[in-house]
Amino acid sequence: MFGSMNQTMKIVADENIPFVREIFGPLGRVTCCPGRNMHCGTVADADALLVRSVTKVDRKLLENSPVRFVGTATIGTDHIDQEYLKERRIAFADAAGSNANSVAEYVVAAVLVLAQKYNWNLEEKILGIIGVGNIGSRLEKKAQALSMRVLPNDPPLQRQTKDSRYVSLDQLLEMADVITCHVPLTNTGRDATYHLFDEKTLARMKGRVALINTSRGPVVDNGALGNALAAGAIGPVVLDVWENEPNIDTQLLKRVAIGTPHIAGYSLDGKVNGTAMLYDAICRFLNIPNRLLVDQLMPAPQVPVIELNTTDGSDQQLLAQGLGRIYKIMHDDLNFREINNKPPDERGQCFDFLRRNYPVRREVFNTRAILKPHKASLAEKLAILGFPIES
């Protein structure tokens, strides 16, 4: 363990973990640095290491270090060599589920923008969700607000539950109008997801189907996707995650309908949830009480209330209007496309800069909705998305 609870404990943390000094400071000395720049020297005298997805945590990083606790403030763990941690008896914690609502809200915002752009009636569209874990299950519920039929695909969960509502990937590719990926990145095994969407899979997709990826970049073969888009063989694409981040394919960015720099889960609420989950885990590891009061750290919402005139349009249009006042996804897209104006050798730095300096984005539960006049169907849909409704 770390000995007595005083300032002798050293914690090395990714500088992009919000409130990490305020939250972990009482446990010891917190040193923050860029996640991509961490190396064995960074953790040479560290007792605990807190990272995000850009830091590869493995033998090369931790060999000969005194680190006894590793936490990642992310839901994905493909950057962590968990077998090595077990071998070294290093405690590990992730933040599974911490930003699930943030990602689900991102996907809803993207679907509503696509619906506006391509004049879709979402009541006539089928949403295929690949991966129905923390994020996919939340999205499935939110899809009720969009009046979309949902086709869930999750082979491991289907085998576990024997639930007949799950469809095969073949069925989903054949029937869905919008496909969204929420799977971990795995390279081997029965359910490997590396290049799940390769040239063959993309060719099997129904007509002008839309594809959204907020999981991990290599789940979609970016080269094959670029070719499919160039050939007009696929519908609109939304990418938040990319192969070879931060040095992404900028030609592919030019072709997608919406592109963002791996920020779908970057709501402040989601990121702080991740920090709080790691703090709880290290408290349990140290066998000390958790006295953290997260609400005291959070700023007031920038948009505490929205008013919607229910005579201004359909429920779908008003949902887009309401969510758009809180999260302007196309602002993220516009800012990201500036990367193409940078010299090639600066684009990776620009990608990281956009993530590091991402503006505060709050989730919809922070904003009350007022409907004038009240409309029951819209109120129900807004409530499903998470808005408190004020009558």
Q: CA-CA distances (angstroms) from residue 23 to 68, 72, 165? A: 19, 15, 42
Higher pLDDT, 294 or 82: 82
Q: Is residue 64 domain-shared with residue 213, that is, in the same domain?
A: no
> Is it the case that residue 21 has pLDDT exceeding 70?
yes
Mean pLDDT of the chain: 95
> Is it the case that residue 5 has pLDDT exceeding 70?
no
Q: Is residue 218 domain-shared with residue 292, that is, in the same domain?
A: no
**Domain assignment present for 307:** no
Q: Is residue 249 domain-shared with residue 116, that is, in the same domain?
A: yes
Output the pLDDT for position 75.
Answer: 87
Give ∠ CA 25-31-35 in degrees, rounded to 5.
120
Q: Is residue 64 domain-shared with residue 169, that is, in the same domain?
A: no
One-letter identity of residue 277: M
SS (H, E, C) 236-302: CEEECCCCCCCCCCHHHHHHCCEECCCCCCCCHHHHHHHHHHHHHHHHHHHCCCCCCCHHHCCCCCC
Q: Is residue 253 domain-shared with residue 114, that is, in the same domain?
A: yes
Range of the domain at 76: 10-94+268-296
- Candidates 172, 348, 123; CA nearest to 249 is 348
By the 8 A CB rule, do 46 and 65 touch?
A: yes
**Confidence bin at 280 (pLDDT 50/70/90):** very high
By the 8 A CB rule, do 388 and 368 touch?
A: yes
Q: Is residue 147 domain-shared with residue 197, that is, in the same domain?
A: yes
**Confidence bin at 6 (pLDDT 50/70/90):** very low
CATH code of the domain in which 87 resides: 3.40.50.720
State pLDDT tens for residues 106-157: 999 999 999 999 999 999 999 999 999 999 999 999 999 999 999 999 999 9
Q: Is residue 35 domain-shared with residue 106, that is, in the same domain?
A: no
By the 8 A CB rule, do 42 and 33 touch?
A: yes
Cross-strand pairs, 85: none
Q: Is residue 229 domain-shared with residue 191, that is, in the same domain?
A: yes
Q: Is residue 78 domain-shared with residue 165, that is, in the same domain?
A: no
State pLDDT tens for residues 196-255: 999 999 999 877 899 999 999 999 999 999 999 999 999 999 999 999 999 999 999 999
Output the pLDDT for position 296.
Answer: 87
Instruction: Name the DSSP class of 12.
Output: E
Catalytic residues: 216, 245, 262
